[in-house]
Amino acid sequence: MQLILSDLKKSFDKQEVLRGASFTFETGHIYGLLGRNGAGKTTLFNCLNEDLKPDGGSVMLRGGNGTERPLAAEDLGYVLSTPIVPDFLTAREFLKFFLEINRGKIHKPQDPDDYLDYMQIDPADRGKLLKDFSHGMKNKMQMLIQFVADPPVLLLDEPLTSLDVVVAEEMKQLLRRRRADHITILSTHIMELALDLCDEIVILHNGVLAPVNREQLDDAAYKDRIIAALKEEQNV
């Protein structure tokens, strides 16, 4: 499967944020979407998620048989940088509620505690209200819901940068384990994170998408050009 972005455009007043962004993402890869804060990474994700309407361009899914169709809501999972969870529910109640309202849509549903085990949520925390969870724990619950729903395309908007080292490493391992049948796109402004976790790196610069050659990043001159592009972006 391929996720095909073609000539996506988005402006706010007179500011062009996306200026014809095009790229093809492939199943089985974790992509690092690299760009400075303010480069338009969240705008791109919001266009894919239909929270924003692009000014032009298209987003299509191409199946293994070559047929194409527009990206649909059920094809996409979106993990926000600031987790949004129902504070008035416990972790177990939240998961049970999600499973109930999505009955018939989830492939081979499991017992809630099996999912919580998978996400390494401590049994002592499963009866706590989500409002008492740390940022990292709320992020894990938000991620868990997407793993349960299991959409083919997963967008992660700066999901690891505010987590402690242990939780961040747990999240990396989980993402690596599920990469085979999914397209995962992780936005970040931290090159080291992209290099550590991602199979491919794409830079969003001046409103367009371009691949970054990982092998050439060992070349100091090439890496300096990438960093210079990111610094330039900060001033746009």
154-183 per-position pLDDT tens digit: 999 887 766 677 778 888 888 888 888 899
72 and 102 fall within a common domain: no
User: What tokens appear for 41 in the block?
Assistant: 């990474």
Domain total in the chain: 2
180 and 210 fall within a common domain: yes
Let me know the angle formed at the C-alpha of 51 by 50 and 57, rounded to the nearest 5 degrees.
45
C-alpha to C-alpha distance for 198 and 177, rounded to whole angstroms: 13
35 and 65 fall within a common domain: yes
97 and 114 fall within a common domain: yes
65 and 180 fall within a common domain: yes
177 and 167 fall within a common domain: yes
pLDDT at 118: 87
68 and 164 fall within a common domain: yes
56 and 119 fall within a common domain: no
State pTM to two decimals. 0.86
Residue pair 170/120 in contact (Cβ under 8 Å)? The answer is yes
164 and 208 fall within a common domain: yes
* Domain span at 49: 2-84+152-234
108-159 per-position pLDDT tens digit: 888 989 999 988 889 999 999 999 998 888 888 888 999 899 999 999 988 7
pLDDT at 190: 77
Q: Which residue has the higher pLDDT, 233 or 79?
A: 79
C-alpha to C-alpha distance for 213 and 89, rounded to whole angstroms: 45
Inside any domain, residue 54: yes
pLDDT at 60: 94
Inside any domain, residue 139: no
Tokens 């001033």 locate to: 235
Average pLDDT over residues 6-35: 92
Strand order, beta sheet including 183-188: 76-79, 153-157, 183-188, 29-34, 200-205, 208-212
214 and 226 fall within a common domain: yes
Inside any domain, residue 141: no
Residue 184: CATH number of its domain: 3.40.50.300
